[in-house]
Amino acid sequence: MFHKTSFTTLIIGVFVVYVLHTCWVMYGIVYTKPCDESSGVHCVTPYLAKKPRLQLSIYTSLKATGDGNPNLILYIEDFDIHSKFERKINVSIPKKTRNNGTLYTYVFVHQAGVSPWHDNKEVHLVAQLTSYMVLKPQEVNLISGEDPTQQSEPHRKTTNVPDRPVAHWRSRLTFNIMADDFSFDGESLPGDVHRYMKILQYGKKVQYLPILFVDLLSNRVKDLVVINSSTTELPLTVSYDTISLGKLRFWIHMQDAVYSLQQFGFTEKDADEIKGIFVDTNLYFLALTFFVAAFHLLFDFLAFKNDISFWKKKKSMVGMSSKAVLWRCFSTIVIFLYLLDEQTSMLILIPAGVGSIIEVWKVKKAFKMQIHWHGLKPTFKFGTSDESERRTEAYDTQAMKYLSYLLYPLCIGGAGYSLVYVKYKSWYSWLINSLVNGVYAFGFLFMLPQLFVNYKFKSVAHLPWKAFMYKAFNTFIDDVFAFIITMPTSHRLACFRDDVVFLGYLYQRWLYPVDKSRVNEYGQSYDEKPKGKPHKD
C-alpha cells in the first residue's frame, strides 16, 4: 500500500509543479516590465506617440515576395488605429489561383500620401488567402442513390471528389495593431514581439513603428470556400481592432504552438479544433479551460492506473456484471470507429482509442479467457465459475432479458429511419452511425444490469470505487468540454447521459454502505490490503 500511495503522491506532486510552472510562464508572457527612462535605461518608445497621419493599403499577389503586379483591394486614406472596423469586399481571383494555385495578401500601414512600396516608415505583413484541404466525400441517400442538395440545385453538376488537396479561399482576414503607449527596455526586448517590430533611430532616440499582427487563429475551417476553375470573384471580410501588449504576446505564442502542431502532422481540421478553444472563448474562460484540462488529464491517468490495478488483481467476478463489461467494450470500440469516421479532433480520438484497448483487456479478464496460438490459428479457452459467480450471472441475464425488450426495437427502428431519411458517405458510414446512435441514445441502459446486480446483492463493495470516482469527476469535466471542443452532437449528449448513471451508482453507494474493516461475503474488502488481521465475527 505504501508503494501505491507514494507513486500516486509523486504523480500529484508532478502535476502541481507543472500547473505552478505553467502559471509562472503565462505570467511572464502576459506581463511585460515597462522601461523607466528616469533610471537612465536605454528605452525604445512608440512612434504612435506622435499621433502621425497613417494610411492602410491591402494588396493581393501571386508571390510572397510582392512581385507579379500586386492588386490593390482595400485603401483607407485616414486610418485611425483606435477605430475598429469590418468590411466585406470582393476580390478578383487570378487564373493561376483558380487552377489550384496560391494567393497572398500584403497588409501595409504607412504614412498618408506616400506609396507603401517607397515609404521607409511602413510596416507590413504577408499572409496566405488560400489554404489546401482534401474535400469531404459526397453524401447520398443509400436507398435512392440521390443527393438531396442536387434536388434543390438541379443546375449543379455531379463531379468526383478528388483525393488530393484542393485550394480553399480564406474568407476572413483579421489583423491588429498594438496601440498601447508602452516603452520597451532596449536591452531586454521580448523575443516574441521583437520579430514583429521595426525600429528606427534618430540620434540617441530610438522608436518602434506600429506593431502589426495578422491573426491566423481566426482562420477557421468553417470559413473556407472551395475555389474552382469558374470562380472569378470571392468575398473577403476584413476585420481590424486594436490589441493589448499582453494579449498580443499570448496570441503570438498560441499561433506558434498551432503551427508547430501542424509541422508534427496535425491536419487543418485538428488545428482548427485548437483554434476554436482560443478564438471562441474569452481569456478568463480560457484560463478556466486550462485548469479544467489539466485536472482532466490528471484524473484520466489516475482512473486508468486504478482501473488497471483493480482488474489486474481481480480473480473473481462475484457481484460484477460480465455483460456490462462486454457491452462497455463493444460500445467504446463503436464510438472510436465513429469518431474516426467523422474525422474528429485528435484531442477526443486518442483517449477513445486508449480506452478501447483497456476495455478489450477487461473482457479477457472478466471471462477468464486464455489465448493459445497454434501457428497463426488462435485457440480460446474460458475459465470455470463458482457458485457465487453463477448466481451473479443469473441476475445479470435476468436484467438483460428485460432490457432487450426495449433496447432492440428502438435500435432497429432508429437504423431503419436513418437509412430512409438521412444521407451517408457509404454503407459502412450508415452502419457505424446506426450503431453509435444506439450506443449514445440507449447505451446507458446496458449500465443498468450492474445496478440490478448491486440491488440483488445489497452491496457495492465489489466495484472499483477509486477508478470509478476518478471517472465520475471526469464525467463532470466532460460536461464543460462539451461546450468548448467541437464534437458530434450525439457524443456531446452522451456526456450528460453519464451524469444520470453516476447519480444512480452514488445513490447505491449511500444505500449500501461499505464497512472498510470487514471482509465481505465474496472474499473481498473495500481496500484490498496485502497484510491485514482477520476480522472476528
- Give 402-438 as a 3 state SS string: HHHHHHHHHHHHHHHHHHHHCCECCHHHHHHHHHHHH
Look-up: residue for cell 521583437?
Answer: 194
Determine the pLDDT at residue 175.
94
Check residue 42 and report its DSSP letter. Answer: -
Determine the pLDDT at residue 56.
94
- Give 285-349 as a 3 state SS string: HHHHHHHHHHHHHHHHHHHHHHHHHHHHHCCCCCCCCHHHHHHHHHHHHHHHHHHHHCCCCHHHH
Determine the pLDDT at residue 153.
41
Determine the pLDDT at residue 87.
93
Strand order in the sheet with 184-185: 184-185, 43-46, 205-208, 199-202
Determine the pLDDT at residue 456.
74
Determine the pLDDT at residue 497.
63
Determine the pLDDT at residue 5.
54
Determine the pLDDT at residue 156.
39
Determine the pLDDT at residue 478.
66
Whether 294 and 19 have beta carbons less than 8 Å apart is answered as: yes
Determine the pLDDT at residue 495.
64
**Number of residues in the chain:** 537
Walking along the chain (537 residues) 10 residues at a time, the average pLDDT comes out as: 60 84 84 77 86 92 80 91 92 89 92 89 92 72 58 42 78 92 86 89 85 90 86 91 90 86 73 75 71 75 75 70 77 82 71 83 80 74 72 76 76 80 76 76 64 74 65 65 60 64 76 59 47 46
